[in-house]
Amino acid sequence: MTANIQTHEPHEDYAQRDKGDVILRAEKLERRFGGLVAVADFSFEMHKGEILGLIGPNGAGKSTTFNVVSGFYRPSGGRLWFCGEEITGKSALQISRMGLVRTFQHDSLLAEMTVEDNILVATSHQLRSHADRMARVRETAGLTGLSDYLHEKAGNLPHGRQRMLSIAIALATRPTLLCLDEPLTGLQGQEVKTALDLFEMIRSELGISILLVEHNMRAVMRICDRILVLNYGRLLAEGKPEEVSRNEAVIEAYLGKQK
């Protein structure tokens, strides 16, 4: 893994700086599907302002963790807290209204509706006045590079713009925690760089923390402050990118899968 993974400039140490400022806490999280244990004994904390990576080989339990944290699946065991409030067993809608919002691996856009309307719908429960909602739409479109596409049908956008629209929809409510599920899939060179710059900006300008599941290791190593590694549903390692990329067990888990 060290051969094709590079770490870049040192990250500001958000995890250390905000030690007392936990926004997400999982304690012994577990999710079973019949006899299959997809996630087991998974405990972690996430701090305000962090960009936290969740990586692992195919089938490691990353998406299941996302689904449990965001309320789309009920945990089979363990407990979860968001901003100090227990969210174990709460619905996806309740959790998203508390400010924990996720995107999906496959874009969930309203393809026949315009970009503007897709973003507008996301603001509807939060902002009452149409003027406020339109201002939020324009601001969000500006952040995500979609200002020139507001009147296009979402389904007509190129793939990279559709991915940005998924993020714009999640961002429109200005969540506290944004969970991104493989947001870079299908993006090419400059598009990846633009997306990573956007994630940095979301954190630094809007103060939104990011939990990132992503297979693009180079990108994960560049952007994350800290990384959790899952293997067979269990926490295999955690640490800063440079620590994780040198971890023998992590290297073995990835290389073992490639044989």
Ligand X SMILES: Nc1ncnc2c1ncn2[C@@H]1O[C@H](COP(=O)(O)OP(=O)(O)OP(=O)(O)O)[C@@H](O)[C@H]1O
Binding residues (CB under 6 A) for ligand X: these are: 33, 36, 38, 56, 58-64
Least distance from ligand X to the Cβ atom of residue 233, Å: 6
194-208 b/e (C-beta count within 10 Å ≥ 16 → b)? ebbebbeebbeeeeb
Phi and psi torsions of 50, nearest 5°: -80, 150
Least distance from ligand X to the Cβ atom of residue 158, Å: 24
Least distance from ligand X to the Cβ atom of residue 151, Å: 34
Please, which residue, 38 or 165, has the CB nearer to ligand X? 38
Q: Where are the beta strands (DSSP E) in 87-207?
A: 100-102, 177-181
Please, which residue, 67 or 140, has the CB nearer to ligand X? 67
Least distance from ligand X to the Cβ atom of residue 65, Å: 7
Please, which residue, 48 or 62, has the CB nearer to ligand X? 62
Contact 39, 45 (CB under 8 A): no
Least distance from ligand X to the Cβ atom of residue 10, Å: 28
Please, which residue, 76 or 176, has the CB nearer to ligand X? 76
Distance of CA 153 to the CA centre of its chain: 25
Q: Is 110 helix (H, G, I), strand (E, B) or coil?
A: coil
User: Alpha-carbon torsion 193, 194, 195, 197, what sign?
Assistant: positive
Please, which residue, 37 or 141, has the CB nearer to ligand X? 37
Amino acid identity at 232:
Y
